[in-house]
Amino acid sequence: MKKLIFVFFLFPILSKNVFAIETIAKQAILYDMDTKSVLFKKNSDQLVSPSSMSKIMTIYYVFKKISEGELSLQDEFIVSKKAWKKGGSKMFVKVNEKVKVEDLIRGIIVQSGNDACIVLAEGLSGSEKLFSEELTGLGKEIGLKNSFFTNSTGWPDPEHLMTVDDLLTLSIRTIKDFPDLFHYYSEKEFTFSGIKQLNRNPLLFTDLNSDGLKTGHTSLGGYGLVATVKKNDRRLILVLNGLNSSKDRAKEAQRLLKIGFNQFEILKIAKANEKLKTLNVWGGDKKKINIFSKDEIKITIPKKIKKQLSFAIKYQSPLIPPIISEEPIGEFLIKKNKEILKKFELFTDQNVRKMNFFQKIGHNFRYLLFGESVIINNE
């Protein structure tokens, strides 16, 4: 009979109480991109009106077309009357004017231009409706679980919805997928048609030196922000929504990011591909295998936690062939009390086959002579 085996390791950490973060935001999540650790979250799976933060999805679509060679920064699209008339924040394009894609990108990221979004949507998909349907489909492809787009701008619509979790996923994908284009999010100002506008992201103008991403505000969703800051080797991403004012948004974002950098640290446990344990194999052409994680095992934790973390290796025992190197055979668990904080799949670099008939006879003969291992039945 197989049974689950847990091998425990205990490591004392510095503090006694679980570190709790409070926020006045209705929805929030703070994430360490280096260790893939969620530092805290609040109502992050609630469907909300994302307002202009959903423009990150519009830009993701555009960046994807550019990276695939289907679109150039120098391509031009013609401004329709619909785009020109759109209310809210504007880039101030003119009807029938040809505007370069690069200017439209800046018009969306820096100026949050609803008109610029519609120009790109119509130019790329023929209509904003079709473009929105493509956004929803693309969102599913990149891992958004609860995002539904009915327009390119984030204009209030009861069916235009996202979660804070999805805004985080979208931000991670944007940073990872388009390193050569991400710099547009850090631009502090843009002038078009003689009108200079500053980036609406307040963290670009603070000592945090944020390099993205996007603010949003509607009466339906409140004030929101997706922000990222890189300091040394750490990059944090913060998503906030449902705040009462732009002042609250800026103040709360700075406070939470500073907590993330100042009161949390990275605990490194094992390097990628470092041997963690040697396991016995029953009835295989190899007696033992080494197991490891393909990823570095690390987690971001509060600096001052008085309770202990426990680390456990979990696997099925006995290990019986066939064992395939590309398939996970266990997990490394990082736990606090009974809560699993993080887990990593464990692999071996060896393929193990079942013993053939003659190997089993030889194995059992050695056991009878030397008491080695166990008798293997020919079943």
**Residue 7 pLDDT class (50, 70, 90 cuts):** low
Judged by average pLDDT, the poorest of 249-253, 272-276, 313-317 is: 313-317
The answer, yes or no, to whether residue 283 has pLDDT greater than 70, is yes
Average pLDDT, the chain: 89
**Residues with catalytic function:** 52, 55, 112
> Nearest-CA neighbor of 325 among 379, 378, 286?
286
Q: Which CATH architecture has domain 27-262?
A: 3-Layer(aba) Sandwich (3.40)
Give per-residue pLDDT as tens, 17-52.
Answer: 235 799 999 999 999 999 999 999 999 999 999 999
**Residue 362 pLDDT class (50, 70, 90 cuts):** low
Give per-residue pLDDT as tens, 60-95.
Answer: 999 999 999 999 999 999 999 999 999 999 999 999
Name the residue with higher pLDDT: 15 or 126.
126
Name the most confidently modeled range: 176-185, 320-329, 337-346.
Answer: 176-185
The answer, yes or no, to whether residue 368 has pLDDT greater than 60, is no
pTM confidence score:
0.86
Name the residue with higher pLDDT: 123 or 367.
123
pLDDT, average across residues 282-298: 92
The answer, yes or no, to whether residue 376 has pLDDT greater than 50, is no
Peptide bond into 318 cis (omega under 30): yes
Domain edges within the chain: 3-13+269-370, 27-262
pLDDT at 209: 86
What percent of the chain lies above the pLDDT cut of 90?
A: 77
The fold of 3-13+269-370 is Peptidoglycan synthesis regulatory factor (PBP3), Domain 2 (2.60.410)
Give per-residue pLDDT as tens, 97-130.
Answer: 999 999 999 999 999 999 999 999 999 999 999 9
Beta strands in 186-323 (DSSP E): 189-192, 195-198, 212-218, 222-231, 234-243, 264-270, 277-280, 288-291, 297-302, 309-317
Task: Enumerate residues 6+ apart whose C-beta is below 8 A from 253.
Answer: 202, 203, 225, 227, 238, 240
